[in-house]
Amino acid sequence: MPHVVPVGYRHRVPKPASLIEAHRLVKRFGDFVAVDGVDLQVQPGEFFGFLGANGAGKSSTMRMIGCVSPPSEGVLRVFGLDPIKDGPVIRSRLGVCPQQDSLDEELTVLENLVVYARYFGIPRRVARQRAEELLEFVQLSERITSKVEPLSGGMKRRLTIARALINEPEILMLDEPTTGLDPQARHLVWERLFQLKQRGVTQVLTTHYMDEAEQLCDRLVVMDHGKIIAEGSPRRLIEQYSTKEVVELRFGNLPPETVARRINGRISEHCERHEILPDRILLYTADGDAAAEAASREHPAPSSVLVRRSTLEDVFLHLTGRTLVD
């Protein structure tokens, strides 16, 4: 009897493997542990974020994924390949927008893109054509022949993003892409990243801007001291680690500490959790209006009351604390 392969098996499409997979990933610099046993997976088409304060280990993780910094320990696979053995192959499929622009300021905008394209073995004619399209995409077509040096910070950032896309990468790595940009420039970058996401480009982002992570990321991890301390979609993280709403109470010149003492233990009756800061009191609650109303009836009454939805920033501060990390 002939051997028959069941149809279901013959046509079974393998489940899309993770593009990036890390298991107990560690990066050490001497005695300092920058990344301390990180586990993560990034799926195709996903917009994945690393959220953390400066020095939390985000960039070190990115550099390991970008195959420019070998892991000290653990397993890392990008496209199923080993960054140590297959660095050049992996890098040929990655687009990297580093924290520092590292553009060649003496060369023109176009030259910067074409020269970089050549590193990927892209023929000059194709490189030129792609460069023109990308400059259109990042709204820099008018500056195509100008040198990079006089460009504004926002323009340089957009050019760096265009450069990262020149090899049509399967994963775009963005290390703090909008740090130092003015609001207009930030929004333009966000728009472009969102469009790339719609085209199905997998993106990995590091940021310490919560609004950026909340707007862009499908899923993110919060890093602190080299470890992942929370993981999920922005919405899930808010649900899990914060309340639905937050009430911000201010008391004019009266120090919130004093107010808290006067109303004694009653603050906690109005909310699930509260926080007394030097300039305001925060009430974390499911029903902001009710808590605001209750607080307004207290003496002293707040001079201003703001009810808002919980944000990722509340989650982040709750998880990592308000102490400065220097």
Partner 1 sequence: MIHPAMAALEYHLVCYRRSWRGTIFTFFVVPVVFLLGMGWSIGGYLDGDAAGQGGLGVSYLTFLAPGLLASTAMQVGVGEGTHPVYGAFHWTRTYHMMRMSPLTTTDILVGHLGYILVRVTISATGFLLVMALLGIVDGAAGLAALPAAVLVGCSMSAFVFAFSATITEPVLLDVVYRILVVPMSLFAGVFFPVAQMPAGARLAAGLLPLWHGVELCRSATMGIPSQLGAPVHAGYLLLWTVVGFLVARWAFGRRLAG
Interface positions with partner 1 (CB under 8 A):
29, 66, 68-70, 87-89, 91-92, 94, 96, 98, 100, 102-107, 111, 115-116, 118-121, 167
User: Which residue, 80 or 321, has its beta carbon nearer to partner 1?
Assistant: 80
How far apart are CB 218 and partner 1 at their closest, in Å? Answer: 24
Alpha-carbon distance of 184 to 194, in angstroms, equals: 15
Q: How far is the CB of 98 from partner 1 (least distance, A)?
A: 7
List Cβ neighbours of 322 (8 Å cut-off, separation of 6 or more). Answer: 277
Nearest approach in angstroms of CB 161 to partner 1 is 13
Between 96 and 230, CB nearer to partner 1: 96
Report CA-CA distances (Å) from 142 to 108, 110, 136, 291: 12, 11, 9, 54
Minimum CB separation of residue 91 from partner 1 in Å reads 5
Query: By the 8 A CB rule, do 246 and 299 touch?
Result: no
- Closer to partner 1 by Cβ: residue 19 or 97: 97
Residue 121 C-beta: closest distance to partner 1, Å: 4
Nearest approach, Cβ of residue 209 and partner 1 (Å): 23
Q: The tokens of 259 are what?
A: 């107010």
CB of 69 to partner 1, least distance (A): 6
Q: How far is CA 13 from the centre of its chain?
A: 31
- Measure the CA–CA gap between 214 and 210, rounded to whole angstroms: 6
Nearer to partner 1 among residue 158 and residue 274 (C-beta):
158
In what side-by-side order are the strands of the sheet with 219-224? 94-97, 171-175, 202-207, 47-52, 219-224, 227-232
- The H or E element that residue 130 is part of is helix 124-137
Cβ proximity to partner 1, 66 vs 302, nearer residue: 66
Of 173 and 238, CB closest to partner 1: 173
ω into 300 cis (within 30 of 0): yes
* 119 versus 194: smaller Cβ distance to partner 1: 119
Strands (E) located in the chain? 20-29, 32-42, 47-52, 73-78, 94-97, 171-175, 202-207, 219-224, 227-232, 245-250, 273-276, 281-285, 304-309
